[in-house]
Structure 1
């Protein structure tokens, strides 16, 4: 069977919604005559392995790897449209959070602070944060320390628990946590936002035929629009999808280039 994943937003509190959404998408794909449609999402392998899988049917990835390490591996299918704050059309941004009691009143106030990032290959946790900071960094390092946490939820915890002073969190993750597990964002406040970026793309394998890409878009859009799946889409904040290509994500690489041109090539 093929491989399917919705691992980018798959915390335990939304995993049942992802399962329900995939069941609806998979049923539509089978009805359209596709073979090798997996019955369940793959949660047994790291996302990096899933993206590289030769039998990849459907997954979601981050915009920064899409335009760097995955450009010759996957093919963008569609971008999700979410109802959450910080999302407009098929775009999102990051929110920069600090502890409620922090005196920071903007990005410039974070000089010398400890920053938490989910990973160096993250668009929302690193690339958008870097681009926003480049405007105030004046070509010098911003932080006294940068901590890699491995996930946005772990970055929230690091700031909440005093292990870091600030973090850039994907607006969708921040909204999902606030909506489903408000204790995860309690004690935090948003001190700034980053530039917007295309939302995290749904992808398939690089050599997928155009007919398969079209079938995936149709099945995904149909499942989201179907009132039968309203509980799942409401839990995920998912409103619709918009077909996309690599060209739609060129801005992700441009932000990296702009930060470098401003003398801030690495988040530090």
Structure 2
């Protein structure tokens, strides 16, 4: 989920290759194919019975039924502003033009154009909605919502002035700032959302408990094998949370609904 550039994708590929190699010393998983970005819809990919390891967003994990179909392996711990252990936040970002017009708080963004990566995103939609809900009137806050397809596209929309405000995963934002600092001249940050557990690493429930533990250990070993790779990925470790930790994401969705703001609008 954090393949924000081809370079980051290559580093993740290498880390996963090292992980599989360590895992294979204890188990013989057979042929393992590592893909950087599965083609098509992601839900069928995450539900594959032969899935050894993948990463999903906490929203589909908790809200779209994945928790009942997959096994939680680990939650990455990142070194980025907004992260606290395995928890992360979304950064509230406005265009420089909106900032110049006085949009330096979320409340001041009333009636502006929002950008969001997708309806199934916790960081781009659910956490954003949760922050906006107390400010909405009659179930509405923004003039319009533009669905961009990715956090990087949201940032570009803000930088170009095509949108005024959005919420971007703080890890993604940090990685993009590392790789594309030139994109940030046209945006300003105005705050952060509440924190939530980070994006979980998952596997098929066909994986035995002993294999799952070995996979967790293999992730730790692969991370330690290349400190420079870990630094570039801003990856500090892997926490072993329970699935129930992700109930916070549902609580945030319910809180927005209870305040009369069930949709980002």
For Structure 1 versus Structure 2, the TM-score category normalised by the shorter chain is over 0.9
Matched residue pairs, number? 259
Once residues 260 and 32 of structure 1 are traced to their aligned partners in structure 2, the CA distance between those partners, rounded to angstroms, is 47
User: What SS does the aligned partner of 1:78 have?
Assistant: strand
Give 1:15 deviation, angstroms: 1.1
User: What SS does the aligned partner of 1:241 have?
Assistant: strand
Query: Which deviates further from its counterpart, 14-23 or 116-125?
Result: 14-23
**2:73 — aligned with what?**
77
Please, what TM-score do these two structures have when normalized by structure 2? 0.93
Give 1:37 deviation, angstroms: 5.3
Give 1:244 deviation, angstroms: 1.8
Q: For 1:24-39, what aligned pairs fall within 5 Å after superposition?
A: 24-36=18-30, 38=32
Contact map agreement 1:78 1:242 (CA 8 A) in 2: yes
Q: Note the alpha carbon deviations across 1:88-134, whole angstroms, 9 max, x for none.
A: 10000000111123220111111111111100010000000011111
Once residues 176 and 71 of structure 1 are traced to their aligned partners in structure 2, the CA distance between those partners, rounded to angstroms, is 28
Contact map agreement 1:94 1:194 (CA 8 A) in 2: yes
Once residues 73 and 159 of structure 1 are traced to their aligned partners in structure 2, the CA distance between those partners, rounded to angstroms, is 36
Inter-CA distance 267–144: structure 2 relative to 1 (3 Å threshold):
same
User: What SS does the aligned partner of 1:31 have?
Assistant: helix
Contact map agreement 1:112 1:142 (CA 8 A) in 2: yes
Once residues 55 and 207 of structure 1 are traced to their aligned partners in structure 2, the CA distance between those partners, rounded to angstroms, is 7
Please, what TM-score do these two structures have when normalized by structure 1? 0.92
**1:193 — aligned with what?**
192
User: What SS does the aligned partner of 2:52 have?
Assistant: strand
Once residues 234 and 165 of structure 2 are traced to their aligned partners in structure 1, the CA distance between those partners, rounded to angstroms, is 25
**1:51 — aligned with what?**
46
Contact map agreement 1:178 1:185 (CA 8 A) in 2: yes
Q: Does 1:265 align with 2:262?
A: yes
- Specify every segment of 5 or more residues in structure 1 that has no aligned partner in the other structure, as ranges: 1-7
Contact map agreement 1:67 1:253 (CA 8 A) in 2: yes
Q: Note the alpha carbon deviations across 1:125-175, whole angstroms, 9 max, x for none.
A: 000001111122245301110111110001111111111111100000000
Once residues 77 and 154 of structure 1 are traced to their aligned partners in structure 2, the CA distance between those partners, rounded to angstroms, is 29
User: Runs ≥4 in structure 1, deviation > 6 angstroms?
Assistant: none
Query: Which deviates further from its counterpart, 54-63 or 72-81?
Result: 72-81
- Specify every segment of 5 or more residues in structure 2 that has no aligned partner in the other structure, as ranges: none
| Counterpart pick for 1:89 among 61, 85, 89 | 85
**1:22 — aligned with what?**
16
Contact map agreement 1:128 1:194 (CA 8 A) in 2: yes
**1:5 — aligned with what?**
none
| Counterpart pick for 2:252 among 230, 255, 258 | 255
Q: For 1:121-160, what aligned pairs fall within 5 Å after superposition?
A: 121-160=120-159
Contact map agreement 1:115 1:145 (CA 8 A) in 2: yes
User: What SS does the aligned partner of 1:14 have?
Assistant: helix
Contact map agreement 2:49 2:206 (CA 8 A) in 1: no
**1:109 — aligned with what?**
108
Q: CA RMSD in A?
A: 1.5
